[in-house]
Amino acid sequence: MRKAAYSLAVGCKAKVIVEIGVWKGELSQKLLKVPSLKELHLIDPWKQYPGCGNLIALNNFTQVYRWAQGRDNVFVHRMTSEHAASTLDIVADFVFIDGDHAEEAVAIDIECWGPRVARGGILAGDNYEMVGVYNAVNKMLPKHTVLLEEQVSQVWVVRKDKGEL
């Protein structure tokens, strides 16, 4: 996932990148190295979910927040994707969705962030092989492409060329 996301961001010469679903910040660290990068927005509520307690979520948030401190082009937004889309004034060249993998949540992420992708930019996400992601992407973005990376996770991709999304 990290290689594909990084390559896509480099390929579209992304200046403004939004990562939805940051968790531990592993992809964030890779995206910070995109040569054209001006702003990196990290969006995640870092909250409890089944199989993960509040303490783990808080530790992950603290780790990402500390890493981001002192970097004037990294912005950490501890909120849901939907809340961020409704309150932040961001138009991005590259949006990568890897948050809640439930179908409804993925659909909301696509609906909220698709219009915020700049013309020529890319909307992409991880875990296409998961049922919720697969269903949401197929329903909302019928003209997507799927990339297979390292036989582990599939990345879906849509380029916004003529006002799509």
pLDDT at 148: 67
What predicted TM-score, i.e. pTM, was given to this entire model? 0.92
18-32 pLDDT, tens per residue? Answer: 999 998 999 999 999
pLDDT at 35: 98
pLDDT, the chain, mean: 91
Question: Is the per-residue pLDDT at 132 higher than 60?
Answer: yes
pLDDT at 151: 54
Q: How many helices (H) and strands (E) does the chain have?
A: 6, 7
- Label residue 129 left, alpha or beta by phi (over 0 means left) and psi (-120 to 50 means alpha): alpha
pLDDT at 122: 95
Residue 91 lies in a domain: yes
Residue 10 lies in a domain: yes
pLDDT at 161: 85
Residue 164 lies in a domain: no
Residue 22 lies in a domain: yes
Residue 165 lies in a domain: no
52-109 pLDDT, tens per residue? Answer: 777 888 888 889 999 999 999 999 999 999 999 999 999 999 999 999 999 999 999 9
Residue 36 lies in a domain: yes
pLDDT at 149: 61
Residue 38 lies in a domain: yes
Residue 8 lies in a domain: yes
Band of pLDDT at residue 11, cut at 50, 70 and 90: very high
Give the domain CATH number at 39: 3.40.50.150
Residue 148 pairs with which residues in a beta bridge? 154
Name which of 68, 113, 64, 108 is nearest 93 in CA terms.
113
Which residue segment(s) compose the domain that 100 sits in? 2-159
